[in-house]
Chain A
C-alpha cells in the first residue's frame, strides 16, 4: 500500500492516525508506539519499532511551526545525531510553498540548511580546524570535526539514514553567517583487505545560521522557566 502526501492513515501497529507531509521520507515514526510506518508497506505486516529520541532540552518538537524569510514552515520529523563530542538535531521542515528543508538545532545554535551535492570528497582531505574550503562557491572554515555515535529519529524520516553509522562530521562556518555540514562515510568493499577503503561517500548541507527569535516558533515545548 502506498501512502500519499497529506493522506491520513493508521499506524500499522497501534492504529494512531499518521500522515506523510513530504515526498522525501520513506517512513513516518509513530508518536505513540515508535513503529516505522513505511510509505510503501505490506498491509497487516508488523512494523519494526525504533528507539526513542534522547532528551536534550530542545524546545522544538514535531508539529512546531515557524517562519523563515517570511515563509511559514512546519516541523515534520527529525534526526538526532549523537557524536563523540556533541549532538545535533536535524529537524525536517516543510514550507507552506511545498519546499522542504532542514532546521538545525544544537547547543543554542539554529540554522536553516539544504542538502548540496556538488563538492568532491577530496576537498575535505586532511581537514583540520581552521582549514578553509570552498563549498557551493562560498569559502568556509572548518570549525569542528566530530565522530558519529548514534542516530535517533522521530516523525517523517528516511530509515536508511538511521542505518548509517561511524561517519565523521565536519562543521564549517563563514563569518557572514553561512554554515555547512559535511558527513563523510567511509566505505569498505566487502572483499577489500583490512584498512583499504573506497572513496568515501559524502553528504553535504549548506545554509545559514539564524536567530532563534527570527524563526517565530510556535507550538514549541513550553520553556517559560527559561525566558
Chain B
C-alpha cells in the first residue's frame, strides 16, 4: 500500500499497488510515500493520500486520447533511466490551448517531465541555480544563452492519471515561459512554491526509441516554441565561419598579390601608315618588350595575312602555367576597332584565339553631352601553359581612321574577379541562412504575444 513502511533495507522495492476505494481497480504505485495524489485510470477519480487512507478530491471527465507514453513505461533519457508515473492534460485557464505532460521518476535523480504540444516535445528538469524571483523579465541570460519571454498563462489540470508528488488540483499555477531554442525555462508560481524548470526540445523519434514505443507519435503541427531550425549550422555559427573564411581568403589573395610577378611581356604600339608616312616594312623596331610596328593601311583587311606580332617565352616555374592579361587600347571616336589575336605555342603548336575590340561614341543632343563605350579593353587568359609563344594579330576597323592601337601582354597578374566570386559565395551562405532563420523565427513567434517581429 502507498506509504508502506520500509520493509527491505537492502534494496529498493519493486512497484507497489493500491486498490481504488471506489472501483477496486489496482493502481500501480512507483513512488510510495512520495505520492500525494493518485488517480484511478478506471473511474478517473483523483485521491489525496493521507495517513488514514485515500480521500477523493474530484472526478475527471473521461479523456479520450490515450497517453503516448503508457504509465509504467521505462526509458532512458539523458543517460538516466526513468519510469513514467504520471500523465496530466493541462489547459490554459483563459484559452483553449491544451498540452500533455508525463511525469518521469527515478529514485536517485528525482523527477523530470516530458511535455508534448502539437507533436513537439520538451524534456524538463528542475533547476536551482537561477531565479529572478517575482520580478518580470523580458529576457535573461542563463548558461550563456539569452532566454526571451515567450508566453505567460495560468494553467489548470483537466485530466490526469497515475501518481503525483504534489497536489495537482490545488490552484492555477502561473507559468512564464522563456525560450532560447532548443531550450526553454519555465517559471511556475503558486501560492506556496516558485519553481524553475529547464526544458530542451527533443525529437519525437528520440522519445519513441527511448521508451520503445510502437505507436505513431503525434503529428507535428506548426513550429514548436523551442524547435531548432533543422538543416545544419545556425546563422550565428555560419556567420563566424564565413567571417573566418573571408579573412582567410583576403589574406590568401593579398599573399598572391604580393608574390605575383606582374611581368609586362610586351607593350606594343601598332601604327597604321599614312600617305605622309608610308610603311617601310612591318615588324618590330625597338626592344623586345616595348615595341612599335608600322603597318600598312591595308593591313586592316580580312584578305591580308595576320601581322606577326611579338614573340615571348612563359616560364612560371612551380605551377607550369600562369595567367595572362591582354589589354587593347585605340583612340576610336564614334567608331569601333577590333583585333583577332592568336597566341601560338611554338613548341606544341597549340593556338589560343580570342578577339578584343573597343568602341567609343559621343555627341551632344538636346543640350546634353553623352558618350558610351571605351577606348580600351582587356581580357584575362587563365592558366596559360609555359612555353614559347608567337602572337598573330589581325586588326579590323570600319573607316580606316584609327591611327594606331596598343596591345599590352602582362603575365602573372593578380586577379580580383576570383576573389570577388569566392567572397560572394562565402557571404551567400550566411545570407541564405539568415533569411531562412528569420522566416523560421517569425513563424515560431507567431504563437507568442511577445514576438520581437512585427505581427
Contact = CB atoms under 8 A, between A and B. Distances in A.
Q: Do A and B bind each other?
A: yes
Interface of A: 51-59, 61, 82, 84-87, 107-109, 128-132, 141-146, 149-150, 173, 175-177, 179, 209, 212, 221-223, 225-227
Nearest to A52: B5
Interface in B92-125: 106-111
B34 A223 contact: no
B101 to A, nearest CB: 17
Interface in B21-37: 30-34, 36
Nearest to B48: A84
B194 A56 contact: no
A173 B131 contact: yes
B271 to A, nearest CB: 86
Contacts of B110: 107-109
Contact of A56 (B9, B11, B32, B81): B32
B376 interface: no
B7 interface: yes
B109 A55 contact: no
A86 B133 contact: no
Given A55-B13, A85-B166, A175-B130, A143 B33 contact: no
Contacts of B129: 175-177
Interface in B4-61: 4-13, 16, 30-34, 36, 51
A87 B51 CA distance: 13
Given A108-B106, A212-B108, A86 B166 contact: yes
Given A58-B107, A144-B192, A150-B51, A132 B133 contact: yes
A105 B198 CA distance: 21
B321 interface: no
Contacts of B166: 85-86
Contact-size category for B: 35 or more
Given A61-B9, A175-B129, A226 B165 contact: no
Contact of B4 (A55, A87, A177): A55
B68 to A, nearest CB: 23
Contacts of A107: 34, 110-111, 165
Interface string B174-213: 0000000000000001111111000000000000000000
A56 B29 CA distance: 11
23 contacts: A54-B33, A55-B3, A55-B5, A55-B13, A57-B30, A57-B31, A57-B32, A61-B9, A86-B36, A87-B34, A107-B110, A128-B134, A129-B189, A129-B194, A130-B133, A130-B189, A146-B192, A173-B131, A175-B131, A176-B129, A221-B10, A223-B107, A225-B81
The 8 closest A-B CB pairs, nearest first, are: A108-B110, A222-B11, A129-B194, A52-B5, A130-B134, A54-B33, A57-B107, A56-B33
Nearest to B31: A57
Given A107-B34, A108-B106, A141-B131, A57 B194 contact: no
Contacts of B11: 221-223
Given A55-B6, A107-B34, A128-B191, 14 more contacts: A55-B32, A58-B107, A85-B193, A108-B110, A129-B134, A129-B194, A130-B194, A131-B134, A132-B133, A143-B128, A143-B194, A149-B51, A209-B128, A221-B10
B441 to A, nearest CB: 29
Main secondary structure, interface of A, reads loop
Given A177-B129, A223-B12, A54 B108 contact: no
B167 interface: yes
Nearest to B106: A226
Contacts of B194: 129-130, 141-144
A130 B130 CA distance: 12
Contacts of B3: 54-55
Contacts of B32: 54-57
A221 B12 contact: yes
Nearest to B83: A226
B34 A226 contact: no
B157 to A, nearest CB: 15
A41 to B, nearest CB: 25
A114 B165 CA distance: 26
Contacts of B6: 52-55
B128 A173 contact: yes
A57 B12 contact: yes
B267 to A, nearest CB: 75
